[in-house]
Amino acid sequence: MVSNFFLIVNILILLSLIIIGVIGFKYYLSFKKEKLLEEQRKKNEEEKFSEFKKEMTSKFESVATSYNSFSNKITKDITDSFTRYEENVKNFNEKVQKMEQSQENLTKIFSNVKKFGTAAEFSLASLLKDLLSPSQYIPNARIKPDTTGTVEFAIRLPKDVLVAVDSFFPVSQLEKIKDADELKDKKLSADARRKLASAIDTKASSINELYIDPPKTAPFGVVYLPTESLFFEACNYRDPKTKEPLIHTLYREYNINILGPTTLSVFLQTLHWGYESVQISQKSKKIYDDLQNLKFNFVNHMKLIEEIYRNANLTMKKIDEAGKSGRSITNVLANIEEPDTIEINPETNPKNLKVLK
């Protein structure tokens, strides 16, 4: 009984040892598998890290190359920018010098009218040169042969009719108006504007007296004011008593048009278009006259053709009659025979019997 008990116990122990061995062996296999997996994972991680390291190294090298290229480009761009900046500064300095020279030239112009002429004349000459051909205006034109004065420019119209154009630039009067406006003195400002209007009136009167001589010239002249501010002052001024605008007064009394840079351009373009229109009208009239002559000649030509046609019909009729007569004569001649071959038959034709000897 006891031996059986020990046998059973031993069997149970043996089974337990076997189970423990099997479990241990499984654990060992699992541990070894996990170790292999861990080693494989580490190996994969090392390979991935190595690839990542290589990729990062390549990218760093690429970034370094790009940075070097970008740095070189930036350096070049900065250098070019500084070079352009220096050139711009140099150009600016040159322009400043040119402006200073221009200012000196203007100072000379305003300070020495006889030597350098007036700015108004330069402005007027520039406008005429841009808008008209050289054959359409005359500089320093002598209008009246019995006078020594010459108008600055004379615009040439068809049939050699001239339009006198003279510039006027009262700088001192403009300065007085400017000073009065800065002082805000209404009385002084009105007096300065009145003196300016009087100066323009005197200029218009002299142009009317010296440079308007119909039919050699047009019955009107032009006073050119070279700045828009001066033209504005002239257009805005009204007579204190009659309230009539200055430009209307001058045209009514002296037949003088007051024009500024813009209005003179329009005026010149209008004259130019009028000049072209007159030429076109003259050419159209000539074409019309030629067509009328052609019409008259064509009518006469058709009458002559009709007469030729009638004569031709009459001639054809005469020719036809002559043809008929010729054919009759030909037939008669064709019927003529030799005398020996003529047969005499008194019975058939006793009246035509002839005796030949």
Question: Could you report the per-residue pLDDT of 243-301, keeping only the tens digit for each?
Answer: 899 999 999 999 999 998 888 888 877 776 766 676 677 777 777 677 777 777 767 77
Beta strands in 253-295 (DSSP E): 256-259
Verify that 144 and 77 share a domain, yes or no.
Answer: no
Verify that 144 and 235 share a domain, yes or no.
Answer: yes
Domain that holds residue 161: 118-280
Verify that 136 and 101 share a domain, yes or no.
Answer: no
SS3 239: coil
SS3 220: coil
Domain boundary (233, 252, 280) is at 280
pLDDT confidence band for 55 (50 / 70 / 90) = confident
Would you say residue 298 lies in a domain? no
Verify that 179 and 258 share a domain, yes or no.
Answer: yes
Pairing mode, strands 256-259 and 221-224:
parallel
Token digits of residue 162: 């001239």
Domain boundary (117, 141, 170) is at 117
Flag whether pLDDT at 350 surpasses 60.
Answer: no
DSSP state of 226: S
Flag whether pLDDT at 184 surpasses 80.
Answer: yes
Q: What is the pLDDT of residue 198?
A: 92
Beta strands in the chain (DSSP E): 137-141, 151-157, 161-167, 221-224, 256-259
Q: What is the pLDDT of residue 334?
A: 73
Calpha distance 209→203 (Å, rounded): 10
Verify that 113 and 262 share a domain, yes or no.
Answer: no
Task: Please tell me whether the overall predicted TM-score, pTM, comes out greater than 0.85 for this model.
Answer: no
Verify that 31 and 54 share a domain, yes or no.
Answer: yes
The answer for residues whose C-beta is within 8 angstroms of residue 55's C-beta and 6 or more apart is none
Verify that 272 and 128 share a domain, yes or no.
Answer: yes
Domain boundary (117, 138, 153) is at 117
Q: What total number of domains does the chain contain? A: 2
- Of residues 175 and 88, more confidently modeled: 175
Would you say residue 125 lies in a domain? yes
Verify that 129 and 83 share a domain, yes or no.
Answer: no
Verify that 60 and 200 share a domain, yes or no.
Answer: no
pLDDT confidence band for 47 (50 / 70 / 90) = confident
